[in-house]
């Protein structure tokens, strides 16, 4: 198959170690094509009209059965809606639950594009440093005390609970429980952006914040972008029934109908046929192999003083550079050799905190390009470290 153009931000001929996209050969083009071919005979009319505000009913059916089975029994239809990707869900939550000047808590580092959405809304960001189990509880408690002294209640805490973008770490169950307790005590909501949990390579994922809190005061986002295709712009949002009813009743949905009826009807058919689960099982093996190649290349290529995470799923590895190496200088030299990574500065509310960090993604690149790109980075870091 001949691809016409490179996706978002990728320079042709480069090694885009920054790209948090599925590789072209991992997209389910044939399976989606089969669904569309079937529509030749029996087109579902609902796919071509304004959709139910809550989202495609058949996709809701599939998700409800699956979430009740794999995550937690007792999730009702009133707790779920379809959104235009996790991004669309987060933008809606931010638009409807916050006003300019409100405060939200975020991890440091956190997902760069979520920080961008919060900044667009004029929100104040309070950063929680993380370790390998998630946000540090001492930092969270101290921040909450400072905010209480200023008589500020944060609107929510935004967290990527599994295989975080950018660090690859997963928040431990103990931390999840402790954060929920603090959220109840201090009156803020938790927004859980979980787009990677289906891409676990081994072991099991801790119960979600939503499950641990029995659905109280937690909004939980999921997505088909990482297990099917980002171009579908399709995800889901779980929450309390009153909250979901308010979102479903919002002006945007009243005017335009539910998220992406065409894509949702197509994905519903793909999922009900069993093809989604088969595709995810296949993807896990592919991404695990890429993760292993990337980690082996790091072990081989990196000089002393460089540290990195070893994710058990998802797309990302987080690198800590020696103090002598500034990430901007490394970025300049790497780009001169056609190697692009995600500069750590973008992932911190205070960009200077990211001066010695960078994110690598293994989702998009071939094994050879992973080895080559990481090898070049290792040589450059060794030169800069002196």
> Please, what is the minimum distance in Å from the beta carbon of residue 305 to ligand PLP?
28
Cβ atoms 348, 127 nearer than 8 A: yes
Tell which one of 20, 28, 55, 154 touches ligand PLP (CB under 6 A).
20
Size of the site for ligand PLP (CB under 6 A): 13
> Please, what is the minimum distance in Å from the beta carbon of residue 85 to ligand PLP?
3
Q: Which of 316, 326, 310 is nearest to 380 (CA)?
A: 326
By CB under 6 A, is residue 193 in contact with ligand PLP?
yes
Closer residue to ligand PLP, CB minimum distance, 106 or 195: 195
Give the contacts of 324 (CB within 8 A, at least 6 positions apart). 384, 385, 386
Residues 59-98: x/- map of binding to ligand PLP (CB under 6 A)?
--------------------------xxx-----------
> Please, what is the minimum distance in Å from the beta carbon of residue 82 to ligand PLP?
11
Closer residue to ligand PLP, CB minimum distance, 168 or 230: 230
By CB under 6 A, is residue 225 in contact with ligand PLP?
yes
> Please, what is the minimum distance in Å from the beta carbon of residue 318 to ligand PLP?
13
By CB under 6 A, is residue 223 in contact with ligand PLP?
yes
Closer residue to ligand PLP, CB minimum distance, 51 or 166: 166
Tell which one of 190, 195, 265, 325 touches ligand PLP (CB under 6 A).
195
Closer residue to ligand PLP, CB minimum distance, 63 or 306: 63
By CB under 6 A, is residue 205 in contact with ligand PLP?
no
* Residue numbers 234-273 binding ligand PLP by CB under 6 A: 235
In SS3 terms, the chain reads as CCCCCCCCCCCCCCEECCCCCCCHHHCCHHHHHHHHHHCCCCCCHHHHCCCCCCCCHHHHHHHHHHHHHHCCCCCCHHHEEEECHHHHHHHHHHHHHCCCCCEEEEEECCCHHHHHHHHHCCCEEEEEEEECCEECHHHHHHHHHHHHHCCCCCCEEEECCCCCCCCCCCCCHHHHHHHHHHHHHHCCEEEEECCCCCCECCCCCCCCHHHHCCCCCEEEEEECCCCCCHHHCCEEEECCHHHHHHHHCCHHHHHHCCCCHHHHHHHHHHHHCCHHHHHHHHHHHHHHHHHHHHHHHHHHHCCCCCEECCCCECCEEEEECCCCCCHHHHHHHHHHCCEECEEHHHHCCCHHHHCCEEEEECCCCCHHHHHHHHHHHHHHHHHHHC
By CB under 6 A, is residue 160 in contact with ligand PLP?
yes
Q: Nearest to ligand PLP by Cβ — which residue?
A: 85
Cβ atoms 170, 206 nearer than 8 A: yes
By CB under 6 A, is residue 165 in contact with ligand PLP?
yes
By CB under 6 A, is residue 230 in contact with ligand PLP?
yes
> Please, what is the minimum distance in Å from the beta carbon of residue 142 to ligand PLP?
25
Tell which one of 26, 32, 97, 111 touches ligand PLP (CB under 6 A).
111
> Please, what is the minimum distance in Å from the beta carbon of residue 335 to ligand PLP?
21
Closer residue to ligand PLP, CB minimum distance, 215 or 235: 235
Closer residue to ligand PLP, CB minimum distance, 52 or 107: 107
By CB under 6 A, is residue 161 in contact with ligand PLP?
no
Chain residues in the site for ligand PLP (CB under 6 A): 20, 85-87, 111, 160, 165, 193, 195, 223, 225, 230, 235
């Amino acid at each position: 198959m001949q691809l016409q153009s490179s996706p978002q931000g990728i320079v042709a001929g480069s090694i885009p170690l920054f790209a948090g996209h599925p590789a072209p050969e991992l997209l389910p083009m044939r399976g989606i094509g089969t669904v569309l071919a079937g529509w030749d005979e029996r087109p579902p009319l609902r796919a071509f009209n304004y959709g139910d505000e809550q989202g495609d009913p058949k996709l809701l059916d599939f998700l409800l059965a699956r979430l009740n089975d794999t995550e937690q029994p007792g999730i009702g239809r009133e707790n779920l809606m379809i959104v235009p990707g996790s991004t669309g869900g987060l933008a809606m939550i931010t638009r409807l639950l916050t006003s300019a000047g409100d405060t939200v808590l975020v991890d440091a580092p956190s997902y760069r594009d979520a920080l961008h959405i919060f900044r667009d809304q004029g929100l104040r960001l309070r950063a929680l440093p993380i370790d390998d189990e998630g946000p540090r509880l001492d930092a969270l408690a101290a921040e909450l005390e400072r905010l209480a002294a200023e008589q500020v209640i944060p609107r929510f805490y935004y967290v990527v609970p599994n295989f975080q973008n950018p660090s690859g770490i997963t928040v431990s169950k103990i931390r999840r429980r402790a954060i929920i307790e603090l959220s109840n005590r201090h009156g803020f909501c938790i927004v859980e952006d979980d787009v990677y949990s289906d891409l676990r390579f081994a072991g099991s994922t801790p119960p979600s914040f939503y499950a641990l809190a029995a659905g109280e005061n937690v909004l939980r986002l999921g997505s088909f972008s990482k297990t099917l295709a980002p171009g579908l712009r399709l995800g889901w949002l779980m929450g309390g029934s009153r909250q979901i009813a308010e979102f479903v009743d919002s002006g945007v949905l009243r005017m335009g109908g539910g998220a992406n009826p065409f894509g949702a009807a197509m994905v519903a058919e793909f999922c009900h046929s069993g093809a989604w689960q088969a595709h995810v099982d296949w993807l896990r093996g592919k991404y695990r192999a890429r993760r292993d190649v990337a980690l082996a290349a790091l072990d081989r290529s990196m000089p002393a003083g460089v540290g990195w995470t070893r994710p058990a799923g998802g797309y990302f590895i987080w690198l800590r550079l020696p103090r002598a190496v500034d990430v901007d200088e490394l970025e300049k030299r790497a780009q001169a050799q056609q190697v692009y990574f995600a500069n750590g500065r973008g992932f911190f509310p205070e960009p200077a905190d990211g001066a010695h960090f960078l994110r690598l993604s293994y989702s998009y690149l071939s094994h050879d390009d992973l080895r080559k790109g990481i090898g070049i980075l290792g040589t450059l870091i060794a030169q800069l470290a002196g």
